[in-house]
């Protein structure tokens, strides 16, 4: 599980370089003392053992949205929900699962990638009795 935590942290930190959002290249949003880190990537990028350990499907047509919530700089728990919308406006709900590993807490959800396109992610993060909304666009590509 330590490898899982390192992989998810690495993906959270590395993907801004590979797929930066023009408005928020750091791929995070601050809400007072709550910071939400987010990244979306093709699940075929995951190692088979990591995908199996997290219950994710590896596929060139499946994406993963990874959310990490920090409160005052420390991993925090939250209730994460949201949708993903394609350019035609078709919206699909995201079903998040919490993964806890050695003190780190992540929320992951899978979504379909039919073709290269820009997707809009609309998220609601509830923590500490407060609700925060986050919306971002990301260009995605089916993997190899």
Over residues 4-58, the pLDDT tens digits come to 544 454 454 444 434 444 445 689 999 999 999 999 999 999 999 999 989 999 9
Q: Give pTM, 2 decimals.
A: 0.81
Domain that holds residue 24: 2-140
Q: What is the pLDDT of residue 143?
A: 75
**Predicted pLDDT of residue 57:** 93
* Number of domains, the chain: 1
Q: What is the CATH number of the domain that holds 106?
A: 2.60.40.3340
Q: What is the pLDDT of residue 106?
A: 94
Which three-class secondary structure string do you get for 31-69?
ECCEEEEEEEEEHHHCCHHHHHHHCCCCCCCEEEEEEEE
* CB half-sphere exposure, 6, CA atoms < 13 A: 4
Joined together, the tokens standing for residue 66 give 């990874």
Q: Which residues contact 74 (CB under 8 A, 6 or more apart)?
A: none
Give per-residue pLDDT as tens, 61-80: 999 999 999 999 999 999 99
Residue 25 pLDDT: 63
**pLDDT tens for each residue of 102-120:** 889 999 999 999 899 999 9
What is the structure's pLDDT at 37?
96
């Amino acid at each position: 599980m330590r490898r899982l935590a390192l992989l998810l942290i690495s993906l959270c930190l590395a993907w801004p370089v590979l797929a930066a959002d023009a408005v928020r290249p750091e791929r995070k949003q601050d809400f007072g003392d709550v910071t939400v880190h987010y990244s979306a990537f093709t699940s075929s990028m995951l190692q088979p053992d990591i995908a199996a350990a997290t219950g994710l499907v590896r596929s060139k047509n499946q994406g993963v949205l990874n959310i990490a919530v920090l409160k005052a700089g420390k991993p925090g728990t939250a209730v994460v929900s949201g949708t993903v919308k394609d350019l035609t406006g078709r919206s699909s709900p995201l079903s998040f699962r919490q993964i806890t590993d050695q003190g780190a807490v992540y929320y992951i959800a899978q979504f379909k990638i039919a073709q290269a396109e820009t997707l809009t992610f609309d998220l609601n993060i509830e923590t500490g009795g407060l609700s925060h909304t986050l919306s971002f666009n990301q260009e995605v590509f089916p993997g190899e």
